[in-house]
A and B are shown apart, each in its own frame.
Chain A
Amino acid sequence: MTAVTTPRKKPIQRARPGQSSPKLAYLPIIFLAFAIGVPLLIIVIYSFLEKPSQGTGVKWVFTTENYKALFVQEKLDGTTAFDTRYIKVLWTSFYYSLITTVVTLVFSIPAAMWIATREARKRTLLVALVTLPFWISILIRTYGIRQIIADEGPIGKFLGMFDISWSILYSPSATILGLIYVFLPFMILPIYASAERFDFRLAEAAYDLGAKRMTVVRRIILPSIRPGIISGVALVFIPALGSFLQSDMLGGGKTNMVANVIANNFGQARNWPFGSALAVLLIILTLVFVLIIQGIAQRRGDKVELV
Chain B
Amino acid sequence: MSEKFLEIRNITKVFQTPEGGEVRALDDVTLDIVSGEFFILLGPSGCGKTTLLRSIAGLEYPDSGEIVLEGERIDDKPPYNRPVNTVFQSYALFPHMTVGENIAFGLEMENVEKAEVAKRVEEALEQVQLVGYAKRMPSQLSGGQQQRVALARALAKKPKVLLLDEPLSALDLKLRRGMQVELKRLQRETGITFVFVTHDQEEAMSMGDRIAVFSDGKIVQLDTPVEVYRRPVNAYVADFIGETNLIKGTVTSGGIALPGGNILPTEQLAADSIIPASGEVTVAIRPEDLVLATNGMIAGTVRDVIFTGDSVRVYVTVGDVEIIASLASYGTEIPAQGSQVTLNPENRAARTVAS
Q: Say what secondary structure dominates the interface of chain B.
A: loop
In the complex, the answer to whether A210 meets B88 with C-beta atoms within 8 Å is no
A206-223: CB near B (< 8 Å → 1, else 0) gives: 111111100100011001
In the assembled complex, the CB of B271 is this many whole angstroms from the nearest CB of chain A, namely 47
Q: Which residues of A contact B93 (CB under 8 A)?
A: 205
In the complex, the answer to whether A210 meets B94 with C-beta atoms within 8 Å is no
In the assembled complex, the CB of A220 is this many whole angstroms from the nearest CB of chain B, namely 6
Q: Which residues of A contact B105 (CB under 8 A)?
A: 206, 209, 211, 219
In the assembled complex, the CB of B88 is this many whole angstroms from the nearest CB of chain A, namely 6
Q: Which residues of A contact B94 (CB under 8 A)?
A: 202, 205-206, 220
Q: How many A-B residue pairs have CB under 8 A?
A: 54
In the complex, the answer to whether B109 meets A199 with C-beta atoms within 8 Å is no
Cβ 8 A contact of A212, one of B18, B57, B59, B80: B80
**Most A CB atoms within 10 A — which of B85, B86, B92, B153?**
B92
In the assembled complex, the CB of A216 is this many whole angstroms from the nearest CB of chain B, namely 9
In the complex, the answer to whether A199 meets B90 with C-beta atoms within 8 Å is yes
Q: Say what secondary structure dominates the interface of chain A.
A: helix
In the complex formed, the residue of A with least CB distance to B105 is A209
Known contacts A223-B96, A224-B95, A224-B96: A209-B109 contact under CB 8 Å: yes
In the assembled complex, the CB of B306 is this many whole angstroms from the nearest CB of chain A, namely 41
In the complex formed, the residue of A with least CB distance to B85 is A208
How many angstroms from the CA of A86 to the CA of B96 in the assembled complex? 43
Interface flag for B333 (CB, 8 Å): no
In the complex formed, the residue of A with least CB distance to B91 is A205
Interface flag for A74 (CB, 8 Å): no
In the assembled complex, the CB of A55 is this many whole angstroms from the nearest CB of chain B, namely 60
Tell me which residues from 93 to 139 in chain A have a Cβ below 8 Å from any Cβ of chain B. 119
Known contacts A201-B90, A215-B109: A209-B96 contact under CB 8 Å: no
A140-168: CB near B (< 8 Å → 1, else 0) gives: 00000000000000000000000000000
How many angstroms from the CA of A221 to the CA of B133 in the assembled complex? 24
**B: interface residue count bin:** 20 to 34
In the complex, the answer to whether B88 meets A201 with C-beta atoms within 8 Å is yes
How many angstroms from the CA of A219 to the CA of B92 in the assembled complex? 14
In the complex, the answer to whether A205 meets B109 with C-beta atoms within 8 Å is no
Interface flag for A204 (CB, 8 Å): yes
In the complex, the answer to whether A205 meets B96 with C-beta atoms within 8 Å is no
Cβ 8 A contact of A210, one of B59, B90, B92, B106: B106
In the complex formed, the residue of B with least CB distance to A215 is B109
In the complex, the answer to whether B95 meets A207 with C-beta atoms within 8 Å is no
In the assembled complex, the CB of B120 is this many whole angstroms from the nearest CB of chain A, namely 13
In the complex formed, the residue of A with least CB distance to B96 is A223
How many angstroms from the CA of A212 to the CA of B58 in the assembled complex? 13
How many angstroms from the CA of A166 to the CA of B153 in the assembled complex? 57
A-B contact pairs, 23 of them (CB 8 A): A119-B18, A199-B90, A202-B94, A205-B88, A205-B92, A205-B93, A206-B94, A206-B105, A207-B59, A207-B79, A208-B58, A208-B59, A208-B79, A209-B85, A209-B153, A209-B157, A210-B80, A210-B110, A211-B105, A212-B80, A215-B109, A219-B105, A224-B96
- B interface residue numbers (CB < 8 A to A): 18, 57-59, 78-80, 85-86, 88, 90, 92-96, 105-106, 109-110, 153-154, 157
- A interface residue numbers (CB < 8 A to B): 119, 199, 201-202, 204-212, 215, 219-220, 223-224
The 9 closest A-B pairs by CB, nearest first: A210-B109, A209-B106, A205-B92, A207-B79, A210-B80, A223-B96, A208-B86, A201-B92, A211-B109
